[in-house]
Structure formats: C-alpha cells, structure tokens
Structure 1
C-alpha cells in the first residue's frame, strides 16, 4: 500500500489552482473599482476606508469557520471543492448587484445597497480563498510545495491583470462611457463586473470538475494521520467545546505562524491603503484634481461638477486599473522564478527583499508627478495621459514583486509547520493575520489622511511604504520549522 503522497504533474497542479484565476479576477475588479464606485455613490475620503473594513471583517469571520468545516467535510465533491463552488456562486450574485446599486434607490440608499453587496462579495471571496489555500496543501506533496503555491500565485496574477484592465478596455476599445455623475456608476464598470462574474464561475467549475480530491483513507495515509486520531478530526463536538478548542488552537499556534503574523501585519496594512487610496492619490497627484472634488459636502454646494473634473476622475480611475494590472503582470512574471529563487537563496531572503522593493516603490510615488500630456500606445489602443501616469509604471515593478511574494512565501513557510489534521482550520486562523492589519488600517488610515495630511492622498501611500519596509525587516525574525529546535518529549532532558 502506497504511503508516500504521489507527485503531481504540472497540469494537475495548474488545475488545482485554476479557479483562483476567476476568484482573483473578481477580487481585482473590486480592488480597482470599489473606491471609485463608492465615491460616485457619495462616500468621502475619510469614510472610504471604513466601507472597505467590510472585506477584512468578512475574512475574519468566514475563513476560520469555513476552514474548520472543510477539515471535516467529505462528500461526492470532495473536501474543499463544495465550499469553493458555493462561494463562487454567492460572489457572482454580489458582482452582478453591486454596480446596479442605484437601481434599488426606491428601497434603500445606494450607499447602503453598495455596502451590502461589497459585504456579500467579500464573504463569498473568503469562502473560496481559504479552501483553495488548503486544497493546494492537501493535494501537493511537500517537495512540490514551492511550485504549487507559485503556480497559484501566477494564476492569481493573471486573473488580477485581466480584472484590473477590463474597465479601461471596455472604455478605450469597446467604447463604453467611463464617467458617472454623483449617485451613478459608469457603464464600463457595470459591464466589467458582469464579465468578471462569468469568468469567476467558469474557472471555479473547471477546478471542481478537473481536480479529484483524495479519499479520506488516502488523505490520512499520505499525511501520516494515525487511525486513532481520525475520529477526533472528523467529529463535531458541541458549540461551547468547539469555541474552547478554537481558542486553544489560537493560543497554541505554531511558533512560525506567530512570527509570520508580524510580517503579515505590516504587509497587509500597506496593501489595504493601496487598494483604498490609490484612485484618489492618482487623481489628485497625477491628474491635478483638487481634493475638494472628493468632498461630497463641497460638491453639494455647487450647481454641477465641471465636465473637466468628471473626465479627469474617469480617466484616472481607468489608469488605476492599468497600474494594478501592471503590478499583477510583474507579479505573474516574478512568480515564474519565485520557486527556483526560493530554493536557491532561501525563502526568507526572497520574501524580505521583495517586501523591501515594494516599500521603496510606494514611497517613490512622491517623485513621479509630471502633468505634461503624452500619447501612449498600449497595443490595444492609444490614450493621452499625464507623463507622471506613465512614470508610475516603474514603482509597479517593485509592488508586483512584493505582491507575488506575499501571495506565496508566507504560505510556503507556514505549510510545513501545520499539523495535517488541522491544516484547514489553521489556514483559516492564519487569515486573522491578513484581516486584522486591514481592520487597523481601515480604522486609522482615513483619520491619518484627513487629520495629518489634510486629505492629500499621496502621503498616505508613503505611509504604506514605511509599513512595507518594516515588514521586510520582520521577515528575518521568522524561524521556519527546520530552523526550530526539536520538541522536547515528556520524560526526556532537553
């Protein structure tokens, strides 16, 4: 009887993660356009980060629950795939309804409807994310773990590229309008969400159909779980006992996981700021739109928003999609070399160096303002934008490298430190280290922007850079499982 987990060929590894392409397609659309949508629906700069809190809160609530449930689930679809498919279906509903929030004005304010759909999307994305991470851990043997998470990172970034650039393509190639008055959503954004919903569902179905999970007997044998421990893994104790057990797991999480949490804090604090405030930062700093045009109270005092401001906001919003696509392209390229580079020089060196490049790139936003109009050939179309917008492609290289490392390295470093029978729940708990810093960022970034920087959004991007640099330093304090001393067995002398 075979006890060693079979190696997978490249296409098997590809199929395991392919659905993540669609999930990240939808997530990229959200990241690049939710601030734009919420601003168009009436949110001011200070409140933007508060609306974005929905995302990490949903992750905090959903992922540990889904992780624990998927550890105990075995049915015709497998262990992780039922949750991936259910999350995708719910996400599609949110993606179709979010850009149509103004239609529901007779029932509720568009802002409330928008916030509810963001919450649904984020909860659904999180139902997909955690089982996908665990699916790779389940299906890919330890010696292929670097390549497994690197392929996942590659697919994530392919999806992010397409999702980020789609509204720009729909405007500049298809010809849909990218402008919207207060209380509306641009047609190019509406159709981008429809297309994203279709891609998300199709790619997830591909993974569900093309990936066959191991039977419980095979899985436990490959992972070295003893027969006497199987009942404990699959049992569902009373709620009070489960809560107590969950608390014990958190307190006794592996040391590597605790150390990675510090790195995750600084990394995700920075990423949250980027996703929330890149659009206003670019609009103000590169398109030279005065910050007063991001204040709904001021806008309410004028007869109408000048057409030049509307056009500048639409163009800047589209260019943010190009920039986000660019960093995803660079992340995808770096992902190809990530596994071999980590094998050669070590995960920590690659991880720390990547975060440092990302931090420097955020800070460099200050130095790329140039209002000179230039014509840019993007192969699919030509556009005229400020030269500073083109120059921002350079820091996208460093941000893309950091993003690729964030998607792969902590999970590759963590996977070997987790007990096989608790992988799902610990991957869910590890999402605390993704959600908590975003919550802190959401509660503080808006206040910092308004109170310290007087709503000059470029400076909050610099704060993100400093945070990312601190994350790079923190990597060197992480001890991977093979660097830790062996556990002391009771009765032995250490």
Structure 2
C-alpha cells in the first residue's frame, strides 16, 4: 500500500544536532588520515613525489562508491533501519576497524591498502549523510542542516588533528619512531579515532528516525533495479545535470586541489620548511609535524566557530558572494604559509583556511539543494562528488611528476599552488553562479515564521 507524501515537520535544534552527530565521527576519521597519512608514508620510506600517488585510494573510491551508494540508498527502505542509516552503520563499523589497524602498517603497500579500505567504507558512511539533510528537513531548514554538519566537521576535525600533539605534550607519549615504524602518539590517536568514528555514527543511527518513502519515491524505485540499470541511471543523471549544478561543480573542481595539496604536504612542509627537520627519525621533524597537525586542528576550530555566523553572512551577501569571499580567505591562508618565520604565525594562515572550509562544507550544497529532483538526491549528491575526486585523481597521478621536475620536491610550493587554484574557484563562483540573494532572504523569513509557530 502506497503512502501519502509526508509534510516534513520543522525540526528543533536538538533534533538537527542528533542527525548531525554522526558527521562528527566520520570527520574524525577523515582528519586523522589527512593530518597523518603523509607522515606515515614518509616514516615508511616514501619520497615526497610518491605521496600523491599513495593518496590515490581516496578519490578513486569516492568516484566509484559515492554515486553507487547514492543510487542504492535512494532505493533502500527498511521499517526499522530506514533508508540511509544502514549505510551509516556498515560504513562506520568497517572504517573504524581499518583505523585500528592503520598505525600497525609495516610497509607502504599495507598502509595504502588500509587507506583504501578506510576510504571505501568512509564514503559508504558519508555519502548518504548529504542526502539525509534533504530527506529530513523542509526546504527552509536545509541551510541550517548543512551548517550543523559543518560545525560537526569542524569540531571532529579539530580534535582529531590535535591528537598527536595532545598525546605527546600532555601525556608524554613518544612522537619519534625509527625508520619503518609509526610513532606511538600517532598510534593512540588512531585508536581513539576508531572509537569516536563508530560511537558518533551509532548515536545518530539510534536517535534519528527516517520518514517512509512517498508514493513518488516508491514508483521511482520500481522503475528498474540491478547494477546495469543503476549505471545507466547514474550516467543519465550526469548528462541531465541542472545548469546551476554544472557551474557549482566547476567551482568545486578548482577548490578541492587546494585542500588536497594542503593535506598532502602541509604537515611535512611545516616539519621541513618551518622547523628545519630532516626526516622522520629527527626529533625536530617530529616536533614540526606535531605542530603542523595542531595548526590543522586550529583551522577546524575556526570552522566550527565561523559556522555559527556563516548563515547571517549568507543572508546579507547571498550564498555565491559569501562563498567567493571565503575561498579567497582560504587562498590567502595557503599562500601566506611561505611567508612564515615564526611558527605561531601559522595560526593566522590557518584562520583563513578555517573560514574557507566552513563555507566549502555548506554553501555549495545549500546552493545546489533546491535544483535537484527529490527522488534522486542521493544520486546527484554522489555525482556532485565527481568534481571533488576528479581533481584529486589528476593530482595523485600527475602531481608527483610536477613535484619532481618542476617544484624540486618543495612541499611549500605545492601548498601555495593549491592557494592559487582556490583563487580561480572564487572568481568562477562570483562571476558565473546565479545570484540568489532574494531567494535566500525569502527562505530566512519563512524559517523565522515557522519557528515562531512552533514556540
């Protein structure tokens, strides 16, 4: 028996927090690997020009897994587990196990293989979360849903990135390891990360219910099943992307290389270029890498705090202008790392990155959400991810050559290049994306009216 379409109720703050806590855990896992995998790879003998290729697991799995999981989750319904939550749970469980084993890697191939597993199931858990916001919230609360995810990402990322420094400086856990081994402060960080990843996702699974499918969604899910049909539908959706989505996707395409190059090289650039360390066995290098992770944690704190005021800025300036300005702040932060002589100036650089990160995690999705067909939100969110992972694949396959032959393995120049690409993304965002200031203000007014009704 088909059901009538459900009128989505306005959710209160605690309900929006409950449905977002899982993202805290997922981001905990992502930031642990982003802050530490470059260091782990170099500890296991990788050269700087090899690091991008060793990060290839993340974009390849995102390219393949996210649209498939989006397609499947759009068609999943279980009376107890719901639509998206089975994917949250399974992804979090296996990714958490990979986090436990990661710091026990003894060879590069082992670390790269575990990263592959972590990225596959991290994507399984993460992708449905973007569609979860559109599933649960009425249109005028979508902004708030994505901003809350940004806050959880900032909170999770700040703690995860700081853990190696915390274990070393507060609990005197060693941050130095012999060649071929992983420092104990990194090991303990991954153990704690596995706990937070799984526990946070489990909290959302247990505290948040999902709405049963509408009649339209039931009809859509019966149109065709199976892998071949799924591939056809994904390809058809790709060809039929709304114009606004194409432009926002182009902004993403040039935004994310700046972030990837930072995650590839920032921590080790601080260790070598700012602190003057030699290699992974050098205590100066270890102190620099820990401090680099600490400043990454700081930018996540900035993200968390800036997300509190980002909706008001977007209401005043419009989403596209807000996003463009935030991207320019991030670009300046990345480029200015090369001007640092006092290590504490890195906090100022990372302030710009934190502002950009808050916007990157919310504004593109908020701009996009109103243009997607409701029955295919999962698929389109997966396709949108193409434009995040494609530049990383290009960077992973080709940037090693650039590092070796053009940048002379200078990690700092790579970080600055990422800032330059972010400037290009900001220009495209401001010049090409449709100005939706009026629409934003209407939605803000509707939200205020609805919230007054619920008081």
Asked if TM exceeds 0.5, the reply is yes
Query: Contact 1:154 / 1:332 at 8 angstroms: preserved in 2?
Result: yes
1:479 lines up with 2:451 in the alignment:
no
Answer yes or no: is 1:352 the counterpart of 2:324. Answer: yes
* Distance in 2 of aligned mates of 1:242 and 1:445: 33
Q: Distance in 1 between matches of 2:227 and 2:105?
A: 37
Assess, with a 3 A threshold, how the Cα gap between structure 1 residues 483 and 266 changes in structure 2: closer, same or farther: farther
- TM-score, normalised via structure 1 length: 0.85
In 2, distance between residues paired with 1:87 and 1:322? 28
Deviations 1:231-281 (A, max 9, x none): 233444344333222211111111111111111011111110000011221
Distance 1:249 1:481, change over 3 A: farther
Q: 1:248 aligns to what?
A: 236
| In structure 2, C-alpha distance between the alignment counterparts of 1:146 and 1:162, rounded to whole Å | 25
Counterpart of 1:399 (choices 317, 342, 353) is 353
Aligned-residue offset at 1:338: 1.1
- Cα-to-partner distance string for 1:326-376 (whole Å, 9 max, x where unaligned): 11011111101111211222101110000011111111111112xxxxxxx
Shift of 1:481: 7.9
Match of 1:57 in 2: 60
Query: Could you tell me which residue of structure 2 aligns to residue 37 of structure 1?
Result: 40
Maintained 8 Å contact 1:413/1:480: no
2:400, 2:372 → 1: CA distance?
36
Aligned to 2:81: 77
Q: 1:460 — aligned with what? A: 414
Q: Does structure 2 conserve the Cα–Cα contact (< 8 Å) formed by 1:164 and 1:321?
A: yes
Asked if the contact 1:416–1:481 (Cα under 8 Å) also holds between the matched residues in 2, the reply is: no
- Paired residues for 1:21-170 under 5 Å: 21-75=24-78, 76-102=80-106, 110-170=107-167
2:270 paired with 1:273: no
Could you tell me whether the CA contact under 8 Å between 2:146 and 2:365 is conserved in 1? yes
In 1, the alpha carbon distance for the partners of 2:19 and 2:347 equals 32
Query: What corresponds to 1:445 in structure 2?
Result: 399
Contact 2:67 2:234 in 1 (8 A): no
Q: Does 1:434 align with 2:431?
A: no
Mapped to 1, the partners of 2:437 and 2:384 lie a distance apart of 20
Are the structure 2 counterparts of residues 279 and 89 from structure 1 closer, same or farther at C-alpha, using a change threshold of 3 Å? same
CA distance in 2, matches of 1:239, 1:332: 39
Which position in structure 2 is the counterpart of 1:377?
Answer: none
> Given that residues 91 and 125 in structure 2 are in contact (C-alpha distance below 8 angstroms), is that contact kept between their aligned partners in structure 1?
yes
CA contact (8 A) 2:319 2:436 kept: no
CA 1:101–1:136 in 2, change beyond 3 Å: closer, same or farther?
same
Using the size of structure 2 for normalisation, the TM-score is 0.92
Matched, 1:172 2:127: no
In 2, Cα distance between the equivalents of 1:398 and 1:411?
21
Q: Tell me by how many angstroms 1:136 deviates.
A: 1.0
Shift of 1:480: 6.6
Cα deviations across residues 98-155 of structure 1 (Å, max 9, x unaligned)?
A: 10112xxxxxxx1111111000111111111111111111101110111111011001
Measured in 2, the distance between the counterparts of 1:420 and 1:481 equals 20
Contact conserved, 1:417 with 1:480, CA < 8 A, in 2? no
Which contiguous aligned blocks of 4+ residues in structure 1 show a shift greater than 4 angstroms? Answer: 480-484
* Greater mean deviation of Cα atoms: 434-443 or 444-453: 444-453
Of 296, 299, 302, 1:330 maps to 302
> Contact between 1:272 and 1:442, CA under 8 Å: does it hold in 2?
no
Report how far residue 389 of structure 1 moved. 1.5
Q: Distance in 2 between matches of 1:148 and 1:241?
A: 31
| Distance in structure 2 (CA, Å) of the matches to 1:157 and 1:469 | 22
Aligned to 2:449: none
For the residues of structure 1 that align with 2:225 and 2:29, how far apart are their CA atoms? Answer: 36
CA contact (8 A) 1:417 1:481 kept: no
User: Secondary structure, in 3 states, of the residue corresponding to 1:392?
Assistant: helix
Contact 2:317 2:437 survives alignment (8 Å):
no
Quote the Cα distance in structure 1 between the aligned partners of 2:112 and 2:217: 43
Gap regions ≥5 residues in structure 1: 103-109, 221-226, 295-308, 370-387, 485-494
Q: CA RMSD in A?
A: 1.7
Tell me, yes or no, if the aligned pair for 1:256 and 1:481 is still in contact at 8 Å.
no
The answer as to whether partners of 1:273 and 1:445 remain within 8 angstroms in 2 is: no
Indicate conservation of the 8 Å contact 2:95/2:117, yes or no: yes
